[in-house]
Amino acid sequence: MNTRPPPLPTKEEIALLDVFDGLGLRDIDVVSTSQQAAAALDAIGRLDTVGFDTESKPTFLKNEVSSGPHTVQFASLRRAWVFQLHDADCRAAAASLLASSALTKIGFGLAGDRTQIRHTLGVEPQAVVDLDTVFKRRGYRNSVGVKTAVALVFNRRFVKSRKQTTSNWAQRQLSEGQVSYAANDAYAAMCVADALGLDAATLTPMPLSG
């Protein structure tokens, strides 16, 4: 007997939901110096699974090639780390975490992130899991992004600001809004995975050609 999964909420239904509570700024570390990179590596190195995402300065001109990612962010269920990539040690730390097969990295819509990471950081991301694939395996035909997933799993509305999406992620001093936006993209992915009962042992990483 085939059982269909619950229907995905519509945009109109999501708009009526209470807001998803993300991490506050006190729970987010911006990593922009060698010392901060070392501390972040130590903290994240104790984890086996994290939420993951990247942000890039948007391109507006025809044929303009993105130089991103400009931030790489990881999150546990309690804390997030937003790596800025201006400093060589920060780039090296982010690259080592991305290349680690011991750290499972969970996010949404990660194929594009992967391509940019290869180009900018020169590493092949390992142990990367796209939750959209997880939802497809559970019977959903349409793509499930973070906003839909949060509504489906938590009955909450995940707020994504277009102002932050199109902001300058390459600037050296990120605004508080940018920091919160970046961290909570990764945090929401981790929360969804946790609520679904997923962990490093049960998740299947994306193929390397992804």
Whether residue 60 is contained in a domain is answered as: no
pLDDT tens track of the chain, all 210 residues?
567 888 999 999 999 999 999 999 999 999 999 999 999 999 999 999 999 999 988 765 565 556 669 999 999 999 999 999 999 999 999 999 999 999 999 999 888 888 889 988 999 999 999 999 999 998 998 899 999 999 999 999 999 887 787 788 999 999 999 999 999 999 999 999 999 998 777 777 766 544
Q: Name the helix (H) or strand (E) containing 54.
A: strand 49-55
CATH of the domain at 73: 3.30.420.10
The pTM assigned to this predicted structure is 0.91
Whether residue 168 is contained in a domain is answered as: yes
On whether the CB atoms of residues 53 and 128 are closer than 8 A, the answer is: no
Whether residue 157 is contained in a domain is answered as: yes
**Domain around 112:** 11-55+66-195
Whether residue 2 is contained in a domain is answered as: no
Whether residue 201 is contained in a domain is answered as: no
User: What is the rounded CA–CA span in Å between residue 140 and residue 23?
Assistant: 28
Whether residue 6 is contained in a domain is answered as: no
Structural domain total, the chain:
1
Whether residue 61 is contained in a domain is answered as: no
User: What is the rounded CA–CA span in Å between residue 40 and residue 43?
Assistant: 5
By DSSP bridging, strand 71-75 and strand 49-55 are antiparallel
3 state DSSP class of 41: helix
Whether residue 127 is contained in a domain is answered as: yes
